[in-house]
A = this chain, B = another copy of it.
Amino acid sequence: MFTKDHIISIRDFSKEEVDYVLDRAEELEIYARGNESCNLLEGKVLANLFYEPSTRTRLSFEAAMVRLGGETINIYSQESSSVAKGENLADTIRTVAGYCDVIALRHPQEGASRMAAAFSSVPIINAGDGAGQHPTQTLLDLYTIRREGLLDGLKIALIGDLKYGRTVHSLAYALSLYGATLFFVSPSALKMPEEIKSDLKEMGAEIYEYTEVKEVIQEVKVLYVTRIQKERFPDPTEYSKVAGTYRITTDILKENEDVVVMHPLPRVNEIDVEVDKTKHARYFTQSFYGVPVRMAILSILLGK
């Protein structure tokens, strides 16, 4: 059923494997909430090996491990230079693997996790490798959607920087496994790359492209909002204009009273704080769901 030794890319997953992880996450969610304690991974050790800071991801892995009764040891980015002082990643991985049962690796270089897996005696979980993959983020996005009962045949708007956004690329791919209709909403300079669109179409996804949220809001069940980075625009005035257009407010949400708003966080001002109090907001819940999803991954990899 689930035969992976390492979690490197969401593109390695079949639909059945995704379902398997999400089923497991659902079983474990009660422990993620801390209301009941769990000893499933008692005596097991997760090493968070982070070559760049990503506090949110690290904390979520730590919380997942301790909620399962396991323990975490952390190698922070500011230290990684010293672990790695004159040492290649392969040596560091083989050393750290001697101290733990599973490694969550965050690394600025695309492909680092796959390389690490080749040298590791324990499972590697890719916790983000540069412009590459961040599969547990995608799984928590899917879990959030599934908990809304919306996973099959979802109509979703992916909004913001679709050109450079690793998160939306992976999510679009994964949703295509479930027969999604994808509405891409972005400034014309930040459109979804052609090769990804053609991959998605091959997988059977229906795809539409727009430049404004108001054009699609009544068609979709979910708005998946991402940040548009100022640095993508040579001209700051251009950025301000664009950022304003993609900002989600209570006003625009009046167009669809059931739509769910997601965001991988942190947000800057893509979503007005007024939205937080509405029934549309799901982004903090989504962030919490990182815990049961990572619990599922950890327990599956460690054979429990």
- In contact, A87 and B267 (Cβ under 8 angstroms): yes
Cβ–Cβ < 8 Å partners of A10 in chain B: none
Could you tell me the distance between the alpha carbons of A31 and B45 in the complex, rounded to whole angstroms?
12
Q: Contacting chain B: which of A16-24, A97-105, A196-204, A211-219?
A: A97-105
Please pick, from B43, B47, B96, the residue contacting A69 in the complex, using a CB distance under 8 A: B43
Is B55 touching A267 in the complex (CB atoms < 8 A)? no
One of A70-78, A160-168, A231-239 at the interface:
A70-78
Partner of A79, one of B31, B55, B87, B90: B55
Cβ-neighbour of A59 out of B42, B44, B75 (below 8 A): B75
Any B CB within 8 A of the CB of A94: yes
Residue from the list B45, B82, B94 in contact with A63, Cβ < 8 A: B45
Q: Is the Cβ of A99 less than 8 Å from the Cβ of B59?
A: yes
State which size class the interface on A falls in: 35 or more
- Contact (Cβ within 8 A) A47 B59: yes
* B-chain residues with CB within 8 Å of residue A244 when the two chains form the complex: none
A262 within 8 A of B: no
* A:249-304 near B, CB below 8 Å: 265-268, 273, 284-285, 287-288, 290-291
Query: Is A53's beta carbon under 8 Å from chain B?
Result: yes
Q: Is the CB of A55 within 8 A of B82?
A: yes
What residue of chain B has the Cβ atom nearest to residue A60's Cβ?
A: B99
Q: Which of A30-76 contact B (CB under 8 A)?
A: 31, 34, 36-38, 42-45, 47, 53-56, 59-60, 62-63, 66-67, 69, 71-73, 75-76
A34-B38 contact, Cβ under 8 Å, with A66-B71, A98-B284, A284-B98: no
Tell me the nearest residue of chain B to A36, going by C-beta.
Answer: B43
A25 at the interface (CB under 8 A from B): no
**One of B53, B79, B95, B266 near A91 (C-beta < 8 A):** B266
- Assess whether B59 is in contact with A268, with CB atoms less than 8 Å apart: no
Residues of B within 8 A of A47 (CB): 59
Q: A54-B82, A87-B267 are in contact. List 12 more A-B contacts (CB 8 A).
A: A37-B42, A38-B43, A43-B69, A53-B82, A59-B96, A63-B99, A66-B73, A85-B266, A87-B266, A90-B273, A94-B284, A95-B265
Minimum-distance CB pairs A-B, first 3: A37-B43, A98-B288, A63-B99
A residues apposed to B, CB below 8 Å: 31, 34, 36-38, 42-45, 47, 53-56, 59-60, 62-63, 66-67, 69, 71-73, 75-76, 78-79, 82-83, 85-87, 90-91, 94-96, 98-101, 265-268, 273, 284-285, 287-288, 290-291
27 contacts between A and B (CB under 8 A): A34-B44, A34-B100, A36-B43, A43-B67, A43-B69, A45-B67, A53-B79, A53-B82, A54-B82, A55-B82, A55-B83, A59-B73, A59-B75, A60-B99, A62-B99, A63-B73, A66-B71, A78-B78, A85-B266, A86-B266, A87-B265, A94-B284, A95-B265, A95-B284, A98-B285, A98-B291, A99-B288
